[in-house]
A and B are shown apart, each in its own frame.
Chain A
Amino acid sequence: MKQKIRGKPLVYLDNAATSQKPQIVLDTLLRYYTAQNSNVHRGVHFLSEQATKEYEDARNKVRRFINAAEEREIVFVRGTTEAINLVADSYGRQNVRAGDEVVISAMEHHSNIVPWQMLCQEKGAVLRVVPINDAGELLLEEYERLLTPKTRLVAMAHVSNALGSINPVRRIVELAHRQNIPVLIDGAQAVPHARVDVRDLNCDFYAFSGHKVFGPTGIGVLYGKATRLEAMPPYQGGGDMISSVTFEKTTYNKIPYKFEAGTPNIAGVIGLGSAIDYLTSIRLDAASAHENELLEYATNAISQISGIRLVGTAREKSAIVSFVVDGLHPHDIGTILDQEGIAVRTGHHCAQPVMDRFGVPATVRASLALYNTREDIDALVSGLRKVSEVFG
Chain B
Amino acid sequence: MSDLRDLYQQVILDHTKRPRNFRKLEKANHKAEGYNPLCGDKVTIYLELEDGILRDISFQGSGCAISTASASMMTESLKGKTTTEAQALFECFHDLVTGKPGSGRDAPDLGKLAVFTGVREFPVRVKCASLAWHTLRAALEDHQEAVSTE
A61 at the A/B interface (Cβ < 8 Å)? Answer: no
Q: Write out the residue numbers on chain B whose beta carbons fall within 8 Å of the beta carbon of A352.
A: 40
- Indicate if the CB atoms of B4 and A361 lie closer than 8 Å: no
- Bound together, the chains give a CA A346 to CA B13 distance in angstroms of 20
Q: Which of A330, A331, A346, A361 contacts B42 (CB 8 A)?
A: A361
Known A-B contacts A347-B40, A361-B40, A362-B40; the reply to A331 vs B64 at CB < 8 A is: yes
- Bound together, the chains give a CA A355 to CA B39 distance in angstroms of 11
CB of A220 to closest CB in B, whole Å:
24
- Indicate if the CB atoms of B1 and A362 lie closer than 8 Å: no
Restricting to B28-56, which residues have a CB under 8 Å from any CB of A?
38-42
- Indicate if the CB atoms of A330 and B39 lie closer than 8 Å: yes
- Indicate if the CB atoms of B39 and A335 lie closer than 8 Å: no
Q: Write out the residue numbers on chain B whose beta carbons fall within 8 Å of the beta carbon of A46.
A: none
Q: Which of A336, A361, A391 contacts B13 (CB 8 A)?
A: A391
A44 at the A/B interface (Cβ < 8 Å)? Answer: no
A348 at the A/B interface (Cβ < 8 Å)? Answer: yes
CB of A163 to closest CB in B, whole Å:
16
Q: Write out the residue numbers on chain A whose beta carbons fall within 8 Å of the beta carbon of B42.
A: 361
Interface size on B, residues (CB 8 A): 22
- Indicate if the CB atoms of B39 and A361 lie closer than 8 Å: yes
- Indicate if the CB atoms of A361 and B62 lie closer than 8 Å: yes
Restricting to B1-16, which residues have a CB under 8 Å from any CB of A?
1, 3-4, 7-8, 13
Known A-B contacts A330-B39, A331-B128, A390-B8; the reply to A339 vs B62 at CB < 8 A is: no
- Indicate if the CB atoms of B4 and A390 lie closer than 8 Å: yes
- Bound together, the chains give a CA A348 to CA B62 distance in angstroms of 14
A144 at the A/B interface (Cβ < 8 Å)? Answer: no
Q: Which of A332, A339, A390 contacts B64 (CB 8 A)?
A: A332
Q: Write out the residue numbers on chain B whose beta carbons fall within 8 Å of the beta carbon of A336.
A: 4
Give chain A's interface secondary structure class.
Answer: helix
Q: Residue-by-residue, is A300-339 near B (CB-CB < 8 Å gives 1, otherwise 0)?
A: 0000000000000000000000000001111110011001
Q: Write out the residue numbers on chain A whose beta carbons fall within 8 Å of the beta carbon of B17.
A: 327
- Bound together, the chains give a CA A332 to CA B62 distance in angstroms of 13
**Which residues of A come within 8 Å of B, CB atoms?**
327-332, 335-336, 339, 346-348, 352, 355, 361-362, 390-391
23 A-B residue pairings within 8 Å (CB atoms): A328-B65, A329-B39, A329-B41, A331-B39, A331-B41, A331-B66, A331-B125, A331-B128, A332-B8, A332-B64, A332-B66, A335-B122, A339-B1, A339-B3, A347-B38, A347-B39, A347-B40, A348-B39, A348-B40, A361-B39, A361-B40, A390-B4, A391-B13
**Which residues of B come within 8 Å of A, CB atoms?**
1, 3-4, 7-8, 13, 17, 38-42, 62-66, 68, 122, 124-125, 128
Other CB < 8 Å A-B pairs besides A329-B63, A347-B38, 13 of them? Answer: A328-B65, A329-B39, A329-B41, A331-B39, A331-B128, A332-B65, A335-B125, A339-B3, A352-B40, A361-B63, A362-B40, A391-B13, A391-B65
